Structure 1
Amino acid sequence: MTRTDSEYTVRAHGAEIFLTDTGGDGHPVVLLHGGGPGASGMSNYSRNVDALAASYRVLVPDMPGYGRSSKRIDHDDPYGHLADALRGMLDELRIGRAHLVGNSLGGAAALRLALDTPQRVGKLVLMGPGGIGITRRLPTDGLKSLLSYYGGDGPSREKLAAFIRTYLVHDGAEVPDDLIDLRYQASIDPQVVADPPLRRPSGPRTLWRMDLTRDRRLRNLPNPTLVLWGRDDKVNRPDGGQMLLTMMPNAELVMTSRTGHWFQWERAELFNQLVGDFLSSESAWATA
């Protein structure tokens, strides 16, 4: 396969979406990042892109609200807004169907896109996805920390470092300073500070809409799905993995110890192997 790499912006669903397009003519795989302060596509998947690009065309967007993409988000239906924008991105690129890999907020967006239009999705890989059982229990300390980043005295490097090293990974000492610096600079973009992309649900209706386990379509979703969850995830509760395994007809679950919310970063070698094997395997499950 011929390897090519490029960066460009497409306009979709009223948003400018910046993405890195790498790999070649293999089946397209879209990597969707999480929603923490300063997140972006390539910073979240820096340890995974090369491994996947050896076999696939890998698309790594900055989702609306983040990185070099447009900053506006529909806070009444954030998952739906992201799903529509990402589907529009695929339309602009003339991609009829793609595998989706999503961490946290990106996992929620991927799952919502599949629920709305399962025929546009091949396989799903969800790492500690958001929107799983959130109306049934109080938010975790990690989620509270994330949602409070722009409150109080406002954003700071110290606040971001504490969030990442305490809540995103099992071993905070493994996170390098330059990664903290990169995300902090992105987190203080004036547009983001004025209108943070991830915030507390505005009311019961929005909260209900954001709980994807309340969506009746989940029990009939045909797409083969690999759920990866760190046992020590402090942002989204690990029992969400069992919830998805129970509810989804074509799901597999892998949970690992000494792993936090950033499965793809902390356990990169294992992640790359699991995802590569899952995407390349011939599945007996029906696909949409």
Structure 2
Amino acid sequence: MWHEVYGRSNPGVPTVLLSSGLGGSALYWAANIPALAKYFRVIAYDQTGTGRSPATLPPDYAVADMAAEAAGLLDQLAIDKAHVIGHALGGLIGLQMAADRPALVDRLVLVNAWAKTHPHTLRCFNVRKNLLVNSGVAAYVQAQPLFLYPAAWLAERQAWLADQDAAAITHFPPTETVLRRIQAVEAFDLTQAIAGITAPAMVVAARDDVLVPCTCSITLADQLSDVRLELLDQGGHACNITDPDRFDAMVGDFLRPTLPT
């Protein structure tokens, strides 16, 4: 699995694993890595079947498999404990890791994540699947930002958006891979195991997220035993990209107490 390591490497410095959403690419975190790398060892990776980690996924591929792959990457790097910052699907991966390998997860940052996939999110995924299967990759890619970013923010970045669309089309995974990853997200339901997760967590949600209702994060926070809930009025589904300074400050405040003195 392709990965890069940034930031500090001195002994005792905590590791932060960055896990992206459905797109799966480490590039998703480009705006946040510099701030994190000032204090932590930061690992960003391309999830199996995406970006620079091409693979054929089995028909029954699940979020539990993604979590096992992320844990396996930490094992490969001889890291016995890490903070996990996950966006959407990446948050599900973090939750699953905390349930399956509790000793491996120090703290969780869960960005617009959930314990069970919401009917509204399922409807959005159905729209995206129909676009991909019936209209093709370009239509799927062009629609994707509508689910990620607030309209006003997006309207001001047309050149950037065109570059993003072109890159996404060029590096788009096989259609079957994308469909199997969506299927894994649709089937996710960790509600029975949430109460057993003991890792301290910060749950971050944007009220204007049009893909995942912020009530999913509120419910998730209610189910976790050691949690801090941050509700943002604006920012959209990809709030760590639309307002990186605010996001980095919140995450830093949550994680920096774990730094060695």
1:200 to 178, 183, 203: 183
State TM-score, norm by structure 1.
0.80
| Distance (Å, rounded) in 1 between the aligned partners of 2:257 and 2:21 | 26
Q: How many residues align?
A: 250
Corresponding residue for residue 32 of structure 1:
19
State percent identity of aligned pairs.
25
1:36-88 superposed Cα distances (whole Å, 9 cap, x missing partner): 4xx4112x111100010011110000011211013233452521110111111
- Name the residue aligned to 1:235: 211
Distance 1:174 1:91, change over 3 A: farther
Aligned to 2:116: 133
Quick check: 1:23–1:56 contact (8 Å CA) kept in 2?
yes
1:149 to 1:41, Cα distance in 2 relative to 1, 3 A: farther
**Residues 18-167 of structure 1: pairs in structure 2 closer than 5 A:** 18-25=2-9, 26-36=13-23, 39-42=24-27, 44-130=28-114, 132-134=115-117, 137-139=119-121, 141-156=123-138, 158-164=139-145, 166-167=146-147
SS in 2 for 1:139: helix
- How far apart, CA to CA, are the structure 1 residues paired with 2:127 and 2:171? 18
Q: Is the 8 A contact 1:142 1:234 kept in 2?
A: no
1:197-254, CA deviations, whole angstroms, 9 ceiling, x for partnerless residues? 423369xxx83xx1122x2x31131100001111111111210111011111111111
What CA distance in whole angstroms lies between the structure 2 residues aligned with 1:179 and 1:137? 28
Residue in structure 2 matched with residue 185 of structure 1 by the alignment: 170
Are the aligned partners of 1:145 and 1:163 in contact in 2 as well (CA < 8 Å)? no
Contact 1:140 1:235 in 2 (8 A): no
Q: Which runs of 5+ in 2 are unaligned?
A: none
1:230 touches 1:260 (CA, 8 Å); kept in 2? yes
Which of 115, 124, 149 is residue 169 of structure 1 equivalent to? 149
2-structure distance, mates of 1:77, 1:251 = 29
Q: Structure 1 residues 40 and 201 mapped into 2: Cα distance closer, same or farther (>3 Å)?
A: closer
TM-score relative to the length of structure 2: 0.88
Q: Which amino acid aligns with 1:133?
A: K
Closer/same/farther in 2, CA of residues 174 and 279 from structure 1, 3 Å limit? farther
CA deviation profile, 1:112-135 (whole Å, cap 9, x unmatched): 0111011100100010125x332x
Separation (CA, whole Å) in 2 of partners of 1:63 and 1:241: 23
3-state SS of paired residue (2:6): strand
SS, match of residue 108 in structure 1: helix
SS state of the match for residue 150, structure 1?
helix
CA drift at 1:179 = 1.9
CA deviation vs aligned residue, 1:76-110 (integer Å, no higher than 9, x gap): 25211101111111111000010000001111111
**Aligned partner of residue 31 in structure 1, secondary structure:** strand
Which residue type is aligned with residue 161 of structure 1?
Q
RMSD, aligned α-carbons: 2.2
Show the counterpart of 1:258: 234
Q: Is the 8 A contact 1:141 1:234 kept in 2?
A: no
1:69 match: secondary structure? coil
Give ranges in structure 1 of 5+ residues lacking alignment.
1-16, 284-288
